[in-house]
Amino acid sequence: DGQPLPETDQYLSGDGFTVTESDDGGFVFHPAASNGHGLLIMHGALIKPKSYARSAAFFAQLGYTVLLPNGMVRLSINAVNGAAERMKTFDVEDWFVIGHSMGGFSSLTLIARHRPNVTAVALWAANQPSDFSDLTMPILFLWGDADGLMPPERFAAGKANLPATVEYVTVPGANHQDFAMYSHQFFDNEGSLGWAAQIDLANATTAAFFARHLSTSENRQY
């Protein structure tokens, strides 16, 4: 039912960052040596933010200040307005965004509604029920060909609601669940990578995509 795996606890502390937990169940990963950029990670439906701790720790060690908001009843769409306000309180130049599953929809909703200074976005297995085709920032889309919630026809149909400039990457053997660390995903297929390898691949691919756009990040509004 989307509960964080026990292994998530080990990523709540480590070299190069500290972690604070909010009263509402969200987290902030504070880098010891900031690169000046913020990263917002929006969780999937019925998944707790803690399930993304491995990714948050990875990016914090790269210097990102990482915000993981928690939506009421475990729906990140309910965190959109609060997260947008919280983003204003951090001393960072700009923001990068990762959204998994519903978190992708929540991320783009936040960007379209509140227009924060976002430089680039990574969508991980994210269905888009609304039209975001007018967004202009760089977007990466990772999709696994073993995803039971987003079979090829649904994946292809969702492209119509995204900009034509989106970069799509198919991850062989990746399913829907293993982009994060949680206990169960209804209607998914068994992935062949496992959560550790799939998350690491998603992190590395996303970090490289973000790095390509760091130099164009100053004073940009969307």
Give domain status of residue 222, yes or no.
no
Amino acid identity at 74: R
The 10s digit of each residue's pLDDT in 174-202 is 999 999 999 988 899 999 999 999 999 99
CA distance 146 to 124: 13
- Kindly state the average pLDDT of the residues 88-93: 96
Give domain status of residue 50, yes or no.
yes
Helix (H) or strand (E) holding 61: helix 53-61
pLDDT value of position 73: 86
pLDDT value of position 64: 98
For strand 17-21 and strand 27-31, is the pairing parallel, antiparallel, or unpaired?
antiparallel
The 10s digit of each residue's pLDDT in 22-58 is 988 999 999 999 999 999 999 999 999 999 999 999 9
Give domain status of residue 127, yes or no.
yes
CATH number of the domain that 79 lies in?
3.40.50.1820
Looking at every residue in the chain, the average pLDDT score rounds to 94
pLDDT value of position 220: 46
Give domain status of residue 83, yes or no.
yes
pLDDT value of position 186: 85
pLDDT value of position 219: 41
CA distance 119 to 127: 21
CA distance 184 to 1: 5
What is the CB neighbour count within 10 angstroms for residue 61? 16
Distances (CA, A) of 134 to 24, 108, 111: 33, 11, 11
Give domain status of residue 1, yes or no.
no
Residue 14 in this model has a pLDDT that exceeds 90: yes
**Six token digits for residue 138:** 């760089």
Percent of the chain at pLDDT exceeding 70: 96
**Six token digits for residue 41:** 């990670």
Provide the domain limits for residue 136: 6-216
Give domain status of residue 61, yes or no.
yes
CA distance 97 to 37: 11
- Kindly state the average pLDDT of the residues 2-18: 95
131 pLDDT band, cuts 50/70/90, is very high
Give domain status of residue 221, yes or no.
no
Give domain status of residue 159, yes or no.
yes
**Cα 104–chain centre separation:** 7
Q: How many domains are there within the chain?
A: 1
